[in-house]
Amino acid sequence: QSALTQPPSASGSPGQSVTISCTGTSSDVGGYNYVSWYQQHPGKAPKTLIYEVSKRPSGVPDRFSGSKSGNTASLTVSGLQAEDEADYYCSSYAGNDNYVFGTGTTLTVL
Amino acid sequence: QVQLQESGPGLVKPSETLSLSCTVSGGSISPYYWSWIRQPPGKGLEWVGYIYSSGTTNYNPSLKSRVTISVDTSKNHFSLRLSSVTAADTALYFCARGGPIFIDSWGQGTLVTVSS
């Protein structure tokens, strides 16, 4: 199974919105509504932001939202804040009890 | 709030077996999925495998021949063994609660270096 494709970098100014894409295939992203998004600050463990495409765990601000169209999932961060500067990873269920991560995107807040 | 803590040797020799343990506190091992995920230095996340509290396992196909994940419900921990390691197995290893659908808690990670 191949890693899901994410843009290496994304950026935005404070207060703006930025969207990060996650492209897979019909065997993973397109085939199931089981896409998750994780935020990872340098030297820290990942934190789950989104699961099942658009659901937020308790405590995650509603500035973070997820969606999916076809084989591409997206994470939108609204009202960018300095603390949002981090690496972001998607993951998707890929059938046969397997899952796969994305390549990762570094978000820079300008 | 459940907490997870990885433990094990930080240095393993090539061809030997990497062994890590994850202790779960603040919650029970049952009835949850538990995962191991790794991150080579400067690179992205890679799923290693997961286990259900009943003992059912599933492994990344690329690692399947070398990986064993086990659970000890009496001690509230689960473990990872990765055999025949090479430098490519050098990574930050995270344990986490959850499986392919949803991971809700992560350990802080432990760095394992494969070197002679």
Q: What percent of chain B has pLDDT over 70?
A: 100
Confidence band of A2 (pLDDT split at 50, 70, 90): confident
pLDDT surpasses 80 at B37: yes
Condensed to tens digits (0 to 9), the pLDDT of residues A62-97 reads 999 999 999 999 999 999 999 999 999 999 999 888
Residues in A closer than 8 angstroms to B99, CB to CB, are 99
Contacts of A76 (CB under 8 A, 6+ apart): A17, A18, A19, A20, A64, A65, A66, A67
User: Can you give the pLDDT at residue A52?
Assistant: 96
A39 in contact with chain B, both atoms CB, cutoff 8 A:
no
pLDDT recorded at residue B1: 87
pLDDT exceeds 80 at position A1? no
In chain B, positions 84-113, which contact chain A (CB-CB < 8 Å)?
Answer: 94, 99-104, 106-109
Q: Does the pLDDT at position A30 exceed 80?
A: yes
CB A21 within 8 A of CB A73: yes
Cα separation values, B99 from A80, B21, B43, B87, Å: 30, 17, 21, 27
- What pLDDT was estimated at residue B3? 96
Nearest residue on chain B to A38, alpha-carbon basis: B103
Query: Is the CB of A89 less than 8 angstroms away from the CB of B101?
Result: no
Cβ contact, residue pair B44, A38, below 8 Å: no
Minimal Cβ distance to A98: which of B61, B103, B107: B61
